[in-house]
Amino acid sequence: MENNFLNIINTRRSVRKFTNETISETDICEILEAGMNAPSAGNEQAWQFIVMTDKSVMKEYSKLNQNVGYLKNASAAILVCGDTKLEKNIGYHFHDCCAATENILLAIHAKGMGGVWGAVFLNAIDDIRELLNLPSNLNPVSVIPFGHFEGKTHDVKSRYDKQKVHWNKF
């Protein structure tokens, strides 16, 4: 199991080109479960997840947050939001959502699909709130377009760089 897990981590790459193949609700829920099993400060789990599968919503989202234009071609997307009403440790929801995002990306890869971590631009948040009816206590942190990838996967090369490792002191 260890080698399989390390293989999933070490072979995951960002995918931005997707087929039109739909993703089952079961797969989406299992991917979300992986996100919800991420570590969180004080186990507060101060997050909410917006699943987008409606192409018109995804197309509109991609116009508002332009760094993820490829979102409109994905089969689905997950918007990871920090929930300040659930937050015990102020400001930690951002870190918790980042951990959830990585777990989601790993789960997508483990299921043989591809996805990419998209930042939520600050200047797009108000428009995103309006589009998705987000209450003020939800802070969008990341968006993950995903689906079955078009074409081949990337050749995987190790990114380990011993020049970036410093033992005990820089």
Question: Could you give the 3-state DSSP secondary structure of residue 50?
Answer: strand
CA distance 169 to 31: 38
Confirm whether 4 is domain-assigned.
no
- Nearest CA to 27 among 148, 117, 134, 150? 148
Question: How far does CA 48 lie from the centroid of its chain?
Answer: 12
Question: Does residue 155 belong to any structural domain of this protein?
Answer: no
pLDDT band at 5 (very low <50, low <70, confident <90, very high): confident
Question: How many structural domains comprise the chain?
Answer: 1
Does residue 157 form part of some domain? Answer: no
pLDDT per residue over 26-80, tens digit each? 999 999 999 999 999 999 999 999 999 999 999 999 999 988 988 899 999 999 9
**In CATH, what number is assigned to the domain containing residue 104?**
3.40.109.10
CA gap 141, 154 in Å, rounded: 27
Question: pLDDT-based confidence at 14, cuts 50/70/90?
Answer: confident
Residue-wise pLDDT tens digits, 153-165: 667 788 889 999 9
Assigned domain for 1 exists: no
Q: Which residues contact 27 (CB under 8 A, 6 or more apart)?
A: 111, 113
The pLDDT of residue 7 is 85
Is residue 126 domain-resident?
yes
SS3 52: strand
124 occurs within a structural domain: yes
Residue 29 lies in a domain: yes
Containing structural domain, residue 49: 14-149
pLDDT tens column, 81-135:
999 999 988 889 999 999 999 999 999 999 999 999 999 999 999 999 999 999 9
At residue 147 the predicted structure's pLDDT band, cuts being 50, 70 and 90, is very high
Report whether 51 contacts 76 (CB < 8 A).
yes
Is 170 a domain residue?
no
- The whole-angstrom separation of Cα 101 and Cα 14 is 13
- Which two tokens mark 74? 């994905």
